[in-house]
Amino acid sequence: MNRLTGKVALVTGAGRGIGAAIAHAFAREGAAVVLAELDMQTAQATCHEITTQCPDARVTAVRTDVTSATSVREAVVDAERLFGPLDVLVNNAGINVFCDPLTMTDDDWRRCFAVDLDGVWNGCRAVLPGMVERGRGSIVNIASTHAFKIIPGCFPYPVAKHGVLGLTRALGIEYAAKQVRVNAIAPGYIETQLTRDWWNGQADAEAARRTTLELQPMKRIGQPDEVAMTAVFLASDEAPFINASCITIDGGRSAVFHD
């Protein structure tokens, strides 16, 4: 319960799903946590849940639009003013944009990349100067198995996620000598509200759920907490030599050649 004691972390998109689970886990492990979230209603609700479960937690929410470099820089300034220099950044904010390539609009393309790739770069660019100056820091980018696998009908989302993996590796090498580590986590199917919403949007929600589970080698999908604890590991001092790497959390699904 003290793997992150003394550390200050900022988590983007922390109002719900994987981001909220990471914020909860970081607080349980002793970190001061800033939830950088566009939807302040969900962010405040998550903050309340964290403080209810961990009364001594140091946690706050800051309205942040990851598509705006200025907004992200301001979130970092606010976080450091309140809790001190940032030790950890988790770039979790993301959106699903799935289109037919030839009918996709320019706005769809820009919206996908503005959040899913530019948003990650905006976060990295905001925290790297301080981390480099202090000679320490851990950045964890939430990528996806879409970063190395292609599912038809999901364009351009996997293009952006491939970019996140490239960004992770490039920055990890660029700043390795400064003791700033940059890693990624690639979740597969995780039971978030977005996943449940997709099931519920099908003609037979229960059949859609069963089909998804049957495709998984472990016959279940992951839980947000299972991603969160990997983020804790990468953010902690237990992973000092893990850098420019990606940890896949998909129960083995991406290792399957065919169904």
Nearest to 194 by CA among 229, 214, 220, 224: 224
Q: Which of 26, 121, 157, 175 is catalytic?
A: 157
Which CA distances in Å does 53 have to 21, 34, 57, 228? Answer: 13, 16, 9, 16
**Mutual orientation of helices 193-200 and 205-215 as an angle, nearest 10°?**
120
Using only the alpha carbons of the chain, give its radius of gyration: 18
| 157 counts as catalytic | yes
Q: What angle do CA 33, 140, 244 make, to 5 degrees?
A: 155
d(CA 156, CA 144): 13
Answer for the pair 60, 27: CB distance below 8 angstroms, yes or no.
Answer: no
Answer for the pair 52, 42: CB distance below 8 angstroms, yes or no.
Answer: no
Answer for the pair 90, 11: CB distance below 8 angstroms, yes or no.
Answer: yes
Placement of tokens 């450091």 in the chain: 80
53-72 burial code (b ≥16 CB/10 A, e <16)? ebeebbbbbbebbbbbbebb
The first and second tokens of residue 57, run together, are 């937690």
Residues recognised as catalytic: 157
